[in-house]
Amino acid sequence: MYERKAFYIDGRWTDPIAPGNVIEVFNPATEQVIGFVPSGTAEDVDAAVAAARRAFDPLISVAERRRRVDRIIEATQRHLPAIADLITAEMGAPRRIAHGVQTRVPLAVAQGIASVLDEFEFSERIGNSLVTREPYGVVGAITPWNYPLYQVIAKLVPAIAAGCTVVLKPSNEAPLSVFAFFDALDEAELPPGVVNLVSGPGSVVGEAIAGHPDVDLVSFTGSTGAGRRVAELAGRAVSKVTLELGGKSANVILEDADLGTAVKVGVGNALLNGGQTCMAWTRMLVPQSRYGEALELVETAVARYTVGDPTDPATRLGPSACASQFETVRGFIDRARGDGARLLTGGSERIGDTGYYLAPTVFADVDPMSEIAQEEVFGPVLVVIPFTDDDDAVRIANCTPYGLSGAVWAGTDERAIDVACRVRTGQLDINGGPYNPLAPFGGYKQSGFGRELGRFGFEEYLQTRSLQLPL
């Protein structure tokens, strides 16, 4: 049992102001309680924000920021295997995902930020003005459960590199790995108050952070519904807000593409982390002329996904991360069948007696405007939609309220880029171009605003000041 009884405030583990309220953490593979963390109040947030405010030094040197980032990276590396095991236990990511993308990518993101800091020009001359980039101030960060370490590092490390201080609220579903990360931060011996952790319900602790008058910048990742509320509260406090929200990204496979590769990579992307990835390509768009061939390739690719115990190294698809997500996904599948989509494989039936397991599920002949093609499912569900020509593909790719990610495959990169430029979304992979932890990531439309990662992510945490010099 992992029992965490304290928040991390002002450089030490600190008892909650009103102790006794806890959040139980479940293992979705066993449905058993495996630990708990304290459930905080607005007063705990006040204490954390006050500590972050005291620790904020707007004149902090770049050398000191770099030292802090280096110490965070060093300490995190030591804790990475333990954090990966906790991620498997609390949200069901298969071992190879937890020890792979769930923990390796955040480290690469942090290292990327260190390199950005080394190269960044903090001042420039514009005419007779000296324009300088200053740390934004106290950052309130609110994160979801799907990539618990990544989401935290993608906010906290650039914030620290920019000279800010941070108050973080992790998700209620997967907080243990974040508490373990704060054990690492404790060893990093940052000055007291630079990083603070308060767990608790979104409606209490999350809202207290989002609307806090002494938080300068709110960085939120989560669902579009919660993001809307966070933006409203931050707006009232006149705090800057960045929102990384949901997605329903299109994998556009044009007629002259290498269909076999595009389908195989596309299925892998849609099912990564059990489909619980905001940037997942959950809509596969294929030309009508190659539709039958594409569906056969999809079925073959999906059949390779072994569902099972996430601690088993052979498992590629673990359980849904929690009971509510499991029921949400099942509801989407049942309604899609009711809406007339053709179930190619999978379904809403629970696999086994224990654990929130579902088979990878694919729908064909899906109406692009139906719920299953419009809404983010956040489970192992892919829809395959035919299109008639490039214009039709672009129209369908753009027909959801989201615009987070996507892919275009074509016979040449130039052709894929031409089509990609017509898709209103923040990031697109061209003919299988690999993930780049330095490339800006973020949404168009209802997928949010603001960018994370690399230089663009770093700049979100900077304020701009102009000094007009005498002529």
**Which listed range, 98-106, 138-146, 412-420, 453-461, lies at the site for ligand NAD (CB under 6 A)?**
138-146
Binding to ligand NAD (CB under 6 A) within 350-409 occurs at: 376, 378, 404
Binding to ligand NAD (CB under 6 A) within 170-189 occurs at: 171-172
Q: What is the nearest approach in angstroms of ligand NAD to the Cβ of residue 80? A: 20
Q: What is the nearest approach in angstroms of ligand NAD to the Cβ of residue 461? A: 16
Q: Is 223 in the site for ligand NAD (CB under 6 A)?
A: yes
* Helix ranges restricted to H, 272-312: 291-303
Place of tokens 């110490």: 71
CA distances from 73 to 68, 109, 161, 327, 358 (A): 9, 10, 12, 37, 36
What is the torsion angle, in degrees rounded to the nearest 10, for the CA atoms of residue 92, residue 93, residue 94 and residue 99? -130
Torsion sign, CA atoms 370, 376, 379, 380: positive
Q: What is the nearest approach in angstroms of ligand NAD to the Cβ of residue 58? A: 27
**Which listed range, 45-53, 140-148, 262-270, 359-367, lies at the site for ligand NAD (CB under 6 A)?**
140-148
* Selection from 89, 77, 70 nearest residue 28 by Cα: 89
CB atoms within 10 A of CB 436: 14
Q: Is 198 in the site for ligand NAD (CB under 6 A)?
A: no
Q: Is 247 in the site for ligand NAD (CB under 6 A)?
A: yes
Q: What is the nearest approach in angstroms of ligand NAD to the Cβ of residue 138? A: 16
User: 40 and 16 in contact (C-beta within 8 Å)?
Assistant: yes
Q: Which of 4, 155, 169, 455 binds ligand NAD (CB under 6 A)?
A: 169
Q: Is 226 in the site for ligand NAD (CB under 6 A)?
A: yes
User: 423 and 252 in contact (C-beta within 8 Å)?
Assistant: yes
**Euclidean distance between CA atoms 253 and 36, whole angstroms:** 45
Crossing angle of the two packed helices 101-119 and 62-91, in degrees rounded to 10: 170
Give the nearer residue to ligand NAD in terms of CB position, either 55 or 245: 245
**Active site positions, annotated:** 244
What DSSP designation does 97 have? H
**Which listed range, 155-163, 177-185, 241-249, 408-416, lies at the site for ligand NAD (CB under 6 A)?**
241-249
Q: Which of 207, 216, 375, 429 binds ligand NAD (CB under 6 A)?
A: 207
Q: Is 203 in the site for ligand NAD (CB under 6 A)?
A: yes
User: 171 and 211 in contact (C-beta within 8 Å)?
Assistant: no
Which residues form the interface with ligand NAD (CB under 6 A)?
142-146, 169, 171-172, 202-203, 206-207, 210, 221-223, 226, 229-230, 244-247, 278, 376, 378, 404, 443
